[in-house]
Amino acid sequence: GELMKRDWDTIRKILTKLEESASSDTLRLSNFPPEKAEEISYHIELLLEANLIEGEMTPTLGKGPTSFYITRLTWNGHEFLDAINNDTIWEKTKKSFSKNGISMTFELVKTVATETAASVLKSALGN
């Protein structure tokens, strides 16, 4: 396949979906739109490597996206999602990176999102 890039909106979507489905069921490839399968599968693998989610990749025979079942967010996954959950914070966070031409990494995204949330709160309290 062609070179995949990390897509932070996809990552956020997966984590949000997992949080919403947490009580009911495991998350599988079939829970996502088929045209996104490659991309979702790739990002699930990244999220597993980063220990943000728990579950298992289940390689299928032949080519195509690897299927998986994901059981839950880890502590780090919850912390990370909490930092980026709010739409306003998320948009501001992404803007900070693109404005400064800095690559988004897990640590930086979490830091910037956390600081963005803090400053939004501060200004809300200040009024």
Residue 13 has pLDDT above 60, yes or no: yes
C-alpha closest to that of 14 among 100, 84, 92: 84
Q: How large is the average pLDDT for residues 33-55?
A: 94
What's the rounded Cα separation, in Å, for the pair 22 and 72?
6
What does the pLDDT read at residue 47?
Answer: 95
What does the pLDDT read at residue 14?
Answer: 94
What does the pLDDT read at residue 2?
Answer: 56
Tokens 């809300």 correspond to 124
Residue 63 has pLDDT above 70, yes or no: yes
Task: Indicate the burial class of 44 (C-beta count within 10 angstroms; 0-12, 13-18, 19 or more).
Answer: buried
What does the pLDDT read at residue 24?
Answer: 66
| Average pLDDT value over all residues in the chain | 90
Q: How large is the average pLDDT for residues 34-40?
A: 93
Residue 60 has pLDDT above 90, yes or no: no
What's the rounded Cα separation, in Å, for the pair 26 and 89?
28
C-alpha closest to that of 107 among 85, 125, 80: 80
> 86 or 59: whose pLDDT is higher?
86
Give the pTM: 0.86
Question: For 80-120, how does the pLDDT look when each residue is reduced to its tens digit (9 = 90+)?
Answer: 999 999 999 999 999 999 999 999 998 999 999 999 999 98
DSSP 46-79: HHHHTTSEEEEEEPPSSSSPPEEEEEEE-HHHHH
Token pair belonging to 55: 């579950």
Residue 61 has pLDDT above 90, yes or no: no
Give rounded-to-5 percent helix, strand, coil for the chain. Answer: 60, 10, 25
